[in-house]
Chains A and B, each alone.
Chain A
Amino acid sequence: MEFVYLEHTADLLFQAFGKTKEGLIVNSGRALCNAIIDLRGVNAGEKIELEVKIEEEKFEEVLFKFLEELLFQIETREMVFSEFEVKELREGYLKIECRGEKIDSKKHEVKTNVKAITRHDFRVWFHEGKWNALVLCDI
Chain B
Amino acid sequence: MEFKKVSEGTWEIPKEGGMLVPGRVYGTEKIVERIESGAINQIKNVAYLPGIQKYSIALPDAHIGYGFPIGGVAGIDYEKGVVSPGGIGFDINCGVRLIKTNLELKEVKPKVREIIEKLFVDVPSGLGSKGQFRANKNQLNEVMQEGAKWAVKEGFGWSKDLEHMEENGRIELANREKVSEKAIQRGMPQLGSLGSGNHFLEIQLVEQLFDERVAEKFGLSKGQIVLMVHTGSRGFGHQIASDYLGVMKNAMNKYGIRVPDPQLCCAPINSKEGKDYLEAMYCAVNFAFANRQMIMHWVRDGFSKIMGRSAEEMNLELLYDVAHNIAKIEEHNVEGKRKKLLVHRKGATRAFPAGRKENPKAYAESGHPAIIPGSMGTASWIVVGTEKGLEETFGSIAHGAGRVMSRHEAMRRKKGKQVQEDLMKEGKLVKAASYATLAEEMPEAYKDVDEVVKSLEVSGIAKKIARVVPLGVVKG
Q: Could you list which residues of chain A lie within 8 angstroms of chain B, going by C-beta atoms?
A: 5, 7-10, 12, 36-37, 68, 72, 74-76, 78, 103, 105, 109-113, 115-120, 136, 138-139
Contact = CB atoms under 8 A, between A and B. Distances in A.
A9 B436 contact: no
A119 B197 contact: no
B403 A9 contact: yes
B406 A9 contact: yes
A18 B263 CA distance: 26
Interface string B188-212: 0100000111000000000000000
Given A5-B408, A12-B407, A112-B436, A138 B186 contact: no
B408 A103 contact: no
A8 B406 contact: yes
Interface size class on chain B is 35 or more
Interface in B403-418: 403-409
Interface in B42-87: 63-67, 70
Given A5-B408, A113-B195, A10 B65 contact: yes
A133 B137 CA distance: 37
Contacts of B128: 74-75, 78, 103, 113
Contacts of A10: 63-65, 70, 403, 406-407
Nearest to A65: B246
B238 interface: yes
Residues of A contacting B: mostly: mixed
A9 B36 contact: yes
B151 to A, nearest CB: 23
B182 interface: yes
Contacts of A75: 128, 186, 235
Contacts of A116: 90, 238-239, 241-242
Q: Which of A8, A78, A117 counts the most chain B CB atoms within 10 A? A: A8
Contacts of A110: 126-127, 433-434, 436
A104 B6 CA distance: 54
Contacts of B113: none
Contacts of A36: 127
Given A115-B90, A139-B197, A105 B406 contact: no
Contact of B66 (A7, A68, A120): A120
A72 B90 contact: no
B91 interface: yes
B448 interface: no
B240 to A, nearest CB: 10
A119 B67 CA distance: 10
A74 to B, nearest CB: 8
A105 B238 contact: no
